[in-house]
Amino acid sequence: MAEGGFDVPLKCSQEEYKHFVEPAMHEAQNSNFPSALDIVENGLNAHPASEGLMFLKAYFGYKIADTMSSELSSFPKVIQPLGNGALMVDGAMTSQLLGKFQEIVGILSEAEESINELLQVNPNSQEVVAFKGYIDSKKNQLGQESENMKATISNTPNIAGGFCVGCRKSISYDTQKVVFRKSSASQLEAWHLPCFQSKAKN
């Protein structure tokens, strides 16, 4: 059952193929993976034991996650050096990025559930084992990146304090643009971006 150069390595009835696999593959050929996944999930509602559909569910989930994570590379940089050791962190953007990471990890977890079900019935299928490896490594990589980012965000108030050195008002690290700079006493100072910029002008 090859279609568009893709082989579903597992059992799938004629009926499942005609009503779900073919239309899903058609969407996938146009890179419309969310629609392809919808079709496959509908198919699984009617044929919950279909191994071919389970595999495709994991495959399309992976493709969605992969597309979303490549889109993240065009995301504006959340951390930018401003020169002289000062760093600007865009809190709102960081929160958005963390939300995206979470969304992608959620999609990968669903794909993984499907693959785990398949592994129980096909413990020796190399395709299934290999595919589980792809999903796991992508999930680990995204999990690690978002953990690092979260750690940075939650640690900075402890290190730099909750107040702007310029205006002495409080800083909201997850919504505002904040500038960090080492002060002479080797401590970390935090500034609101506008406060830092107006200070630099004087």
Which two structure tokens, joined as six digits, stand for 157? 């108030």
Burial 82-113 (b: 16+ CB within 10 A, else e): eeeebebbbbeebbebbebbeebbebbebbbe
**CB count, 10 Å around CB of 135?**
21
- Site string (112-151) toward Zn ion, x via CB under 5 A: ----------------------------------------
Element housing 139 (H / E): helix 126-160
Separation CA 124–CA 182 (nearest Å)? 56
* Of the residues 62, 166, 173, 193, which one makes contact with Zn ion according to CB under 5 A: 166
- Residues of span 10-29 touching Zn ion by CB under 5 A: none
Handedness of CA 37, 140, 117, 3 (dihedral sign): positive
Q: Which stretch binds Zn ion (CB under 5 A): 54-62, 69-77, 119-127, 159-167?
A: 159-167
- Interface with Zn ion, residue 167, by CB under 5 A: yes
Name the residue nearer to Zn ion (CB basis): 93 or 167: 167
Residues 172-201 that bind Zn ion (CB under 5 A): 192, 195
Q: Hey, which residues between 58 and 97 contact Zn ion (CB under 5 A)?
A: none
Interacting residues with Zn ion (CB under 5 A): 164, 166-167, 192, 195
